[in-house]
Structure 1
Amino acid sequence: MLRPCLGMGLLAIAAAALSQTATESEDGGGMSAFGKMIPLGFVNEDVTVPSFSDGKASSLLTAKTLTRLDDTLLKAENVVVEIYGKTPAETLRVELKSANYHMDEKILRSGERSRVARADFEMEGDSMIFDTTQSVGSMKGRVRTLIFDSGSVSGKSEGSQPSN
């Protein structure tokens, strides 16, 4: 019973962190605005898209290829999104073999094995969907979650915890 709750909790953490990079303002900014600058049908190689908040780097999106398929759809291959935390241990890394971003719906979808990792956990699943407007995501199919020493993020090690 505890495993599904932990998995959903970690996915919620990942979704919240991913929304920092995917959040779009009401004026249509963010990834949709960037995507609309890409020429239709042109394959962009070795793409790097940094994001900033209060003058500091907040995330970095890299992709081997990024293609605008039509007026509303971007396709990317070998995508890595790093969302920087306050400390390196809080930095979240999302890896997608391929993904589609629906600019109108503001939804990121991957039908291939995807991975979300931070210093204290790793989560993998056969597919992933993330709604950037609601900051809600899900993984399906052979979802595997590994939880490491949470002290790496919380600053508390197992030895410093009171014994029962």
Structure 2
Amino acid sequence: MRRVNTQTFYRAGLSLGMLALAAVALAQTVAEPEEAKGMNAFGKMIPLGFVNKNVVVPSFKDGKPSSLLTADTLTRLDEELLSAVNVVVEVYAEDPAATLRVDLKSAVYNMPDQIMRSGERSRVSRADFEMEGDSMVFDTAHSIGSMKGRVRTLIFDMNPAPGKAEGNPTNE
């Protein structure tokens, strides 16, 4: 009967164990943290104080475009803040009529909070409405915003009610 060297036995077991752990680790899908996505990932690549001109930042979800940010200039102010001039954010929807467009003359984006703020007249529009206000806060993670000061909203009548003639304000 042949005697097995204990050291060789442990080495083989350790090697098999390491291979098994490596296979399990490679097989698992690691969720990418929110701060490593979209504008946060792009913003972290910009050196402090550097002015980027004619910026275009697309975002994708499940291999399809989900949004597009364009700006005349984009500057990283510090570890958390980006400053942008003449910003347009388009949030795409399945139906092109539901695509949302946000126009800002200037904005500051907080990367950890994923919130864009503007103290100037801003506009949000879609095929069925248009809204303008003196200042705006836009949560890019949830596509939710709020406006303050001289807010003006236009809601377009896309489908007139049956039985009513278009252009006739009364229903007689």
Higher relative contact order (CA 8 A, sep 6+): 1
Which segment is superposed worse, 61-70 or 105-114? 105-114
Q: Flag as ranges the 4+ runs of structure 1 deviating above 6 A.
A: none
Q: 1:132 to 1:56 in 2, by over 3 A?
A: closer
1:158 aligns with 2:161: yes
Shift of residue 111, structure 1, vs aligned partner: 0.2
Partner in structure 2 of residue 124 of structure 1: 132
Partner in structure 1 of residue 77 of structure 2: 69
Amino acid at match of 1:64: D
1:51 aligns with 2:51: no
Amino acid at match of 2:62: D
Which segment is superposed worse, 120-129 or 83-92? 83-92
With structure 1 as the length reference, what TM-score do the two structures score?
0.73
Amino acid at match of 1:43: V
Partner in structure 1 of residue 111 of structure 2: 103
1:134, 1:82 → 2: CA distance?
13
Shift of residue 137, structure 1, vs aligned partner: 2.5
What CA RMSD, in Å, does the superposition of the two structures yield over aligned residues? 2.1
Q: 1:52 to 1:135 in 2, by over 3 A?
A: closer
Identity of aligned residues (%): 69
Q: Choose the corresponding residue for 1:137, options 131, 142, 145.
A: 145
Q: 1:142 to 1:55 in 2, by over 3 A?
A: same
How many residues end up aligned between the 2 structures?
133
For each residue in 1:107-148, what CA deviation from the matched residue of structure 2 results, as whole angstroms up to 9, or x when unmatched? 210000000000000000000012345654210000000000
Amino acid at match of 1:63: A
Amino acid at match of 1:158: A
Q: Choose the corresponding residue for 2:35, options 19, 28, 31.
A: 28
Q: Which runs of 5+ in 2 are unaligned?
A: 1-31, 165-170
SS in 2 for 1:28: helix
Q: Which runs of 5+ in 1 are unaligned?
A: 1-24, 152-156
